[in-house]
Structure 1
Amino acid sequence: MSTPSVAEVRAKAQPEMTLERRNGEHWAGLLYMRKLSIYVTWALARTPITPNQVTGLMIVTGVAAGAVLVLPGLAAAVLAALLVQVYLLLDCSDGELARWTGRTSLTGVYLDRVGHYFAEAAILIGLGFRASETWPDWYTVLGFAAALGAILIKSETDLVDVARARSGLIAATEVSATQFQSRKLAMARRAAAALRFHRVIQAVELSLIVVVAAVLDFWFPATRILVVACAIIAGVQLILHLVSILASRRLA
């Protein structure tokens, strides 16, 4: 059997419907990572590794980024950011490999979600330890608080489908997430989405901000300010996201 070309793998592993997902595709994936991940997927397809094993590596890499972030210094921040890029790469490749090999599964979807929970929580917790003078102190607590907020925000989204499934309904569509019973709430959601402040506590964006903060730490305590900001953003976003869900047609 001949080895498939990268173009053949791309045609099956990166269908247009995947790249056009409004909420499911990260901007970094569209901008550059999908261009790189297909070559990794092509290489992985020639090995015995399974899509779920790739997802397992993704989880380990994301948690490792948080662990590295505990270490002081600019080098640790840069290494954590690089690990997050590998995490994103594997996050793209596991699904591509599943589509190419036909080994898609509910287990894979579940592990993918678990990986996102673990990675974002680990990075925020690592950031809290990084900002602390002694373990634990208030910065450690704020890191854990921000991590809990990030997890609860994701839970709010996932619990929509749980509620719909238990009511015998299909999963909510991406369109329903933008449909509101109140025009004022719809305008408020669009304004909040335009600010993109919620992305500060997401793994890719946060890892890059941490590098900038590590550089600024030479002049003032930027990392500590960042931890406080992450805790505040997580708390505010937790409330706003819940209101957005309740006011949308996702639960209709």
Structure 2
Amino acid sequence: MHKPSVAELRPVVHPEGVKDRRSGEHWAGRLYMREISLRCDRYLVNTRITPNQLTYLMVVAGIAAGAVLLVPGLTGAILGAVLIQVYLLLDCVDGEIARWRKQTSITGVYLDRIGHYLSEAALLVGFGVRGADAFADRGPNWMWAFLGTLAALGAILIKAETDLVDVARARSGLPAVKDEAATPRSSGLALARKAAAALKFHRLVGGVEASLVILVVAIADQIKGDLFFTRLGIAVLAGIAIVQTLLHLVSILASSRLK
């Protein structure tokens, strides 16, 4: 059976605009993962593996990334970062295989969104439990697990706020929102939104970015000999998640997305 080349795959699985989507494409996908996924596609397009099965594997990898954070020290943080990269790879591959085989579906889109919710939440909850030091002789400090769960809830709500715009529009008989409608009607809010977008601090609660933060603080903790930097990281991510949840909600309400 013919194994397509990268040149044959590219125009089909990476149609114009895929890498340039304003909110649908991750920077890591544009930077390197889409090129890696193209080379994986060659070996998958002629197999019996379905796009939805790849999506299920993506979810498993994402949840596992949160679970392995319970492994103490650098080992857990490294495993978490590697599994998040596998999660990102599968997130690229499932859609690409679907486009090549013309098997794109609403079910696939739905599973993909659920996968993002579960995986990113699992990573942040795992980070919080890691900070709680569940296996400590003196007993765990569950405050850090609570803050990690708070960060996870914020990450889910940020995604839900975006997704629910299209739900609200669909139920009102309106088409999907266009990118230009995201600009707040107030000039002050528009300026604040541009400043936040430039700083990109909100991205730190995303799966790839959070896994890198977890790895960096684990290295710092290895040098210092305790969990100070892990706990500082949990507190920072929880604060970012709460603030971003509120700001994102205000941004949506102040824009034309619900008009």
Do residues 103 (structure 1) and 108 (structure 2) align? no
Do residues 205 (structure 1) and 209 (structure 2) align? yes
In the alignment, residue 154 of structure 2 is paired with which amino acid?
A: G
Cα deviation digits, residues 70-95 of structure 1 (max 9, x gap): 22110110111000001000000111
SS in 2 for 1:223: helix
In the alignment, residue 120 of structure 1 is paired with which amino acid?
A: E
Q: Offset at 1:3?
A: 3.0
- TM-score normalised to the size of structure 2? 0.94
- Alignment correspondent of 2:171: 166
- Alignment correspondent of 2:196: 192
Q: 2:152 aligns with which of 147, 151, 154?
A: 147
Q: Kindly tell me the number of residue pairs found equivalent between the two proteins.
A: 251
Q: Offset at 1:17?
A: 1.6
Do residues 94 (structure 1) and 99 (structure 2) align? no
* 1-structure distance, mates of 2:106, 2:65: 26
CA distance change for structure 1 residues 73 and 166 in 2, over 3 Å: closer, same or farther?
same
Point out where structure 2 has 5 or more consecutive residues left out of the alignment. 134-138
Do residues 130 (structure 1) and 130 (structure 2) align? yes
Contact 2:65/2:81 (8 A) holds in 1: yes
SS in 2 for 1:17: coil
In the alignment, residue 250 of structure 2 is paired with which amino acid?
A: V
Matches within 5 A, 1:3-18: 3-18=3-18
Q: Offset at 1:135?
A: 4.4
Please say which of residues 2-11 and 138-147 is displaced more in the overlay.
2-11
Cα deviation digits, residues 152-188 of structure 1 (max 9, x gap): 11111111001000000111122211x2211111001
- Alignment correspondent of 2:237: 230
Contact 2:69/2:130 (8 A) holds in 1: yes
* 2-structure distance, mates of 1:10, 1:191: 35
- TM-score normalised to the size of structure 1? 0.97
* 2-structure distance, mates of 1:74, 1:162: 42
* 1-structure distance, mates of 2:98, 2:209: 26
Q: Offset at 1:136?
A: 6.0
* 1-structure distance, mates of 2:211, 2:98: 27
- Alignment correspondent of 1:72: 72
CA RMSD of superposed structures (Å)? 1.1
Do residues 240 (structure 1) and 244 (structure 2) align? no
